[in-house]
Structure 1
Amino acid sequence: METRKRPFTIPVLAWTLRAVIMGCVVGPAIALLTYLVALASNIRAANPLVLWAIPIGALVTTLLYQKIGPYLKEGSSQVIDMINQGILDIAHPTSIGYKQDHSAHQQRISSKMIPLLLVNTFITHLVGASGGKEGVGVQIGASIGSIMGRIEERVLNSPKPIHQKGIWLISGAGAAFGALFNAPIAGTLFGMQFSNPKVNRTDALLPCLVASFTACIVSQAMNMKTLVPVKATSFALDLKTIAMLLILSLIMGLASRLFCHLIHLTKAFFTKMTPNPYKKAVLASTMLLLASLIINGISGSSAYNGLSIDLILEAEYGTTSALAPLYKLILTALTIGSGFVGGEVIPILVIGATTGSLFASFMPIPVSALSMFGAIGMLSGSTKLPLACFVLGLELYGFGNPTALFLVCSASFIFSGRLSIYERQIIPDGLDASWDV
C-alpha cells in the first residue's frame, strides 16, 4: 500500500503569529463595515425619502460591478471553490481531477473586492434595501487572508500549496464571522465548515481559533456594536416539550427551504426576464421599492427595510406583527434579486425570530426561547451548519437551554432540504436528494 505524509498538521508557532496578525487586521475591517452600515442606516432614518432612491442604488451597485469587475459579484462562490480545491489537494493530490483543475490553483481573491464591498454595502443600507452585512464581512475576511498569504509568499519567495492558501481563507472568513457577532467559537466553526460541511478542516483549527478570538477582542476594543439579544429564558424539558420543539423544528426547516428556494427562484426569474444587468437591476429594484412602500403603508413602519435588528428584539417580547416574517422574506428576496449586496444571515435571523415568537400562544415555552429557536433553527437549515449555529445560539442567547437548542438546530437542518444560501457549498450526503423541490 502506498503511503505518504499527509499535511494534517501545521507549524504551531508560525500559524499562531499569522493568525494574531490576521485578527488584528480583520477586526478593524469588520468594525469599519459595521460603522458604515450604522451610518447609512442613521442617514436613512433621518431622511425617510431616501427610500425612493432604491432603483438608483441598484443601478449604481450594478454599474460599479460592471466597471470594476463582474466576476467580483461571485466573491463568496470563489472563496468556497478555492477552499474546496485545497480539500481536493489534501485528499487526491495526483488525481486526474486535480490536474484538470490546475488552473483553479492559480486563482486568487482580488484586492479590489474589499473597497467595492464596503461601498456597495453602504449603498444597500443607505437606500433601505433589506440586506445584512455578514456575507460581505466573510468575503472581506477571506480577501484579507488571501492578501496576507500572497504577501508572505512574495516576501519569503516561497509559493504555498493550495490547501495552505485555503487555511488563510478559512481563518479570515472565520475571524470576520466571529467579529460580526462577537462570537469567536461560532466564527471558528463557521470558518472550518462553511465551504464544505462534509469536511471539518481541523488543520485550520488553530489559526482560525486564534484569528477569530483576536478579531473579536480588537473589534470590541474599538467599541463595535454587535447584536445583543435578550437572554433566552430557561425551561424544563419533558417529552411533551420535546414533541413541541420537533414540530417547531419542522416548521423552521421548511421555512429555511422556502427561503433558499425563493432566493434562487428570484435570481433566476429576473435573469430570465432580461440578461441585461442594468435592466434587471431597474426591474427588480422597482418591484422592491413598490413592495417597501406597500409594506410600510400597511404596517406603518419602515422597520422591515435595512437590517431590521429591532424586529429580533421585539420578537423576544412577542410584540411583532404576525405578518412580520412574510414582509421581511419578500423584501429580502427582492433585495437579492436587485443585485444589492450585504448578506442573508441577519435577514434569516429576523425571519426566524419573528416566526418563532408566533408560537408563544400555542406552546408553553417562553417567547424569548421560541424566538431564539426560530432564529437559530432557521439559520441552521439555511446554512447547513448545525454545529456552528448551535454555538452561535449559545454565545448570543446564553446557556439556558443547550439541549433544546441542539435538538432544534439538528432537526431544522434535517428538515431543510438540500439548498443552502451558499450556492457552491457542498451539501452533506445525509440529506435525501428526493426531498428537494
Structure 2
Amino acid sequence: MLKKIFSKSIVRPVLVAVPVAIVIGSMVALFLWLLNWAIQFRFHHTWLLYLLPLAGIGIHLLYKWYGASAEKGNNLIIDEIHQPGAGVPKRMAPLILVTTVITHLFGGSAGREGTAVQIGGSLANLFAGIFKLDAADKQIILTAGIAAGFGAVFGTPLTGTIFALEVLTVGRLKYDALLPCLVAGFVGDYTVAAWGVAHTPYHIDALTGGNLFYGHHFYWDVLLLLKTAAAAALFGLASYTFAKVVHLIKDTFNKWIKISWLIPVCGGLIIIGLTFLIGKPDYLSLGVSPEYPGAVTIVSAFQQGGADLFSWLWKLIYTAVTLGTGFKGGEVTPLFYIGATLGNTLAGILNAPVSLFAGLGFIAVFSGATKTPLACTIMGMELFGGSFVLYYAVACFVAYLCSGKVGIYSAQRRV
C-alpha cells in the first residue's frame, strides 16, 4: 500500500523533495558561510585583488580539467528540464561552490544565485538517480532543486518556488511541479536557518497616507504610481543593457583571444584597472557588506545619499566583465545592486521616496533580466513587506515589458 502511494505522480516528487532540499540547504549554508569568510578576508587583505588574473587562470583550468558540461551552468539545468539528456554532472555542485568563493576572495564582481541554483540542480539530479525516478519525475525534482537553492540562498522560499516555475519558459508556469517546489523552497530555507546562517535584512520606510486593508497598511498614490512606471521603464532598460553587455563581452573575447586562459587574465586586469580609475573598491565582489564606512552597498542604497550618480553603471560594467571573461558566480545579487543604486539615483530625479525606489529597482531589474515578473513581485513582499505590493507589481511587470527579448538565461524558452 505504501509503495503504491509513494509511486503516485504527485506524492512521490513531494516526498523526494524533502531530503533533496535538506541536503541542498545544508550545502547552500556552507556556501554562504565560505562566501562571507572570503569577502571579509579580502577586506583585510586588499592586495588579493592583484592576484585576480591568476585566480582566473585557476578557475579556467578547473573547468577545463574537471568541468565538462558543467561550464554551461544554469542553462544546462534549464535545458535538462526541458529535454532530458546526459543529465547534470555531480561535480557541478562542488565545482561552482569552490570557483565562486575563489572569484569573491580575489575581488571579482559576481553574485551567488547562480551558484545556489547549480548546487540545487546538481544535487537534485543525483537524488533522481538514487530514487530511480522516471523522466517526468526527474524534471520535477530538478525544478524543485532550483526552488530549494534559490529559496535557501536569499531566504525567500515563496520566491524560489515561483522563480523555479517561471524561469523555464517565458510566459508560462509549470504547474505540475508547484507542490514539490513549494516544499523544497521552504525546507531549503529552514535548513539554512537551522544551520544559523542569517540573511541581510532590507527595509522600506513607511509613507504617510496609507490605507488599512484587512488590518494591514496598503499604500497607493496615482502620482507615485506614474513615477514608478517611468522608473520601471528605465529599470527594464538597465536589465536589457546588462544582458547585452555580458553576451557582448563574452563573444568579443572569444572571437579575438584564441588562447582561452588569457581571457580571464584580461578580465582580471580590467577589473584592477577600473578600481584604480575609480579610486575605491565599492564595485568589487558581492556589494552587500561595506568594505569601509561610507562604501556604496545594496543596503546603503536604501538611504538618502547612499549611492553615487553612476554606481549602477559601474556595477554593471564590473559584473559584465567578471562574468563575461569566465569568472564564476551568479548575476542576481549584482542585479539587486544595479537596481537599488539606480533606484536611489532616480528617486532624487523624480522626487520620490528613496528607500521605496531602491527596493523597486532591487526587484525590477532582476525581473527584466530573468523574465520572472511574478516571482520578483513576490520577492518584494517577502523582503520588504506587503504594504507596497501594488508598486512592486507595476515596477516588475513594466520592467519586464521594457527589457526586450534578451535575458541572462539563453536556455529560457518562450511561449
Considering the TM-score relative to the shorter chain, is it more than 0.5?
yes
Q: What pairs with 1:344-383 in structure 2 (closer than 5 Å)?
A: 344-383=331-370
User: Which residue number in structure 2 is paired with residue 194 of structure 1?
Assistant: 167
Does residue 79 of structure 2 align to residue 81 of structure 1?
yes
- CA shift for structure 1 position 124: 0.4
The equivalent residue for 1:250 is 233
- Contact kept? 1:312, 1:350, Cα under 8 Å: yes
Which of 193, 198, 213 is the aligned partner of 1:220?
A: 193
Matched with 1:5 is: none
Unaligned runs of 5+ in 1: 1-8, 86-104, 154-158, 429-437
The offset of 1:302, in angstroms, is 1.7
Q: Which residue number in structure 2 is paired with residue 285 of structure 1? A: 268
Who is 2:137 aligned against? 164
Partner of 1:389: 376
| Matched residue, 2:300 | 314
User: Residues 74-131 of structure 1, C-alpha deviation per residue, up to 9 Å, x if partnerless?
Assistant: 031111111112xxxxxxxxxxxxxxxxxxx341111111111111011101000000
Instruction: Point out 4+ residue stretches in structure 1 off by more than 4 angstroms.
Output: none
Q: Secondary structure at the match of 2:413?
A: coil
Cα deviation, residue 274, structure 1:
1.4
CA apart distance, 1:359 = 2.2
| Partner Cα distance (1:313, 1:347) in 2 | 13
The CA distance in 1 between the partners of 2:119 and 2:156, in whole Å, is 17
Cα separation, 2, equivalents of 1:10 and 1:207? 13
Measured in 2, the distance between the counterparts of 1:59 and 1:200 equals 39
Aligned to 2:223: 240
Alpha-carbon separation, structure 2, partners of 1:10 and 1:308: 45
Q: CA RMSD in A?
A: 1.6
1:139 counterpart = 2:113: no
- Counterpart in the other structure of 1:102: none
One-letter amino acid of the counterpart of residue 282, structure 2:
A
| Aligned 8 A contact 1:75 1:109 in 2 | no
Quote the Cα distance in structure 2 between the aligned partners of 1:276 and 1:397: 46
> SS of 1:362's equivalent?
helix
Structure 1 residues 231, 245: CA separation in 2 closer, same or farther (over 3 Å shift)?
closer
How far apart, in 2, do the equivalents of 1:265 and 1:341 lie?
17
Distance 2:349 2:48 in 1: 40
Greater alpha carbon shift after TM alignment, 238-247 vs 51-60: 238-247
CA drift at 1:242: 2.1
For residues 80 and 407 of structure 1, the distance between their equivalents in structure 2, rounded to whole angstroms, comes to: 27
Give the distance between the partners of 1:13 and 1:393, measured in 2 at CA: 31
Judge which range, 223-232 or 182-191, deviates more.
Answer: 223-232
**Is the Cα contact below 8 Å between 2:151 and 2:185 reproduced in 1?**
yes
Aligned residue runs from structure 1 range 29-428, under 5 A = 29-85=27-83, 105-153=84-132, 160-161=134-135, 163-234=136-207, 236-295=219-278, 297=279, 301-310=280-289, 311-318=297-304, 319-428=306-415
Code of the residue aligned with 2:354 in structure 1: it is V
TM-superposed CA distance for 1:231, in Å, is: 3.2
How far off its partner does 1:197 sit? Answer: 2.5
The structural deviation recorded for 1:364 is 4.1
Name the amino acid aligned to 2:12. A
Q: Give the distance between the partners of 2:337 and 2:284, measured in 1 at CA.
A: 11
- Please tell me whether the aligned partners of residues 69 and 89 of structure 2 are also in contact (alpha carbons under 8 angstroms): no
Structure 2 residue runs without a partner (length 5+): 1-6, 209-218, 290-296
Is the 8 Å Cα contact of residues 13 and 140 (structure 2) preserved in structure 1? no
1:263 alignment partner, SS class: helix
CA gap of 1:272–1:233, structure 2 versus 1, over 3 A, is farther
Query: Is this contact kept in 2: 1:234–1:369, CA < 8 A?
Result: no
Using the alignment, how far apart are the partners of 2:163 and 2:347 within structure 1?
30
> CA shift at 1:198, angstroms?
3.3
Cα distance in structure 2, aligned partners of 1:333 and 1:106: 30
Q: Once the two structures are superposed, what CA deviation does each residue of 1:144-191 show, in whole Å capped at 9, x if it has no partner? A: 1100000111xxxxx612x32111110011111001111110010011
In structure 2, do the counterparts of structure 1 residues 10 and 199 end up closer, same or farther at CA, with 3 Å as the change threshold?
A: farther
Using the TM superposition, give the Cα deviation of residue 363 of structure 1 relative to its aligned residue in structure 2, in angstroms: 2.9
What does residue 6 of structure 1 align with? none
- Aligned-partner Cα distance in 2 for 1:393–1:213: 17
* 2:249/2:325 contact within 8 Å kept: no
Instruction: Give the count of matched residue pairs.
Output: 391
Query: In the TM superposition, what is the alpha-carbon distance from 1:22 to its structure 2 partner?
Result: 1.4
Match in the other structure for 2:15:
17
- Check the 8 A contact 2:204/2:384 in 1, yes or no: yes
Q: Is the 8 A contact 1:34 1:225 kept in 2?
A: no
Which moves more between the two structures, 227-236 or 198-207? 227-236
Mark the CA change 1:10 to 1:331 in structure 2 (over 3 Å): closer, same or farther: farther
SS at match of 2:261: helix
Q: Output the CA distance in 2 between the equivalents of 1:302 and 1:222.
A: 31
1:247-267 Cα shifts (integer Å, max 9, x gaps): 101111111111111111011
- Verify the 8 A CA contact 1:232 1:398 in the aligned structure 2: no
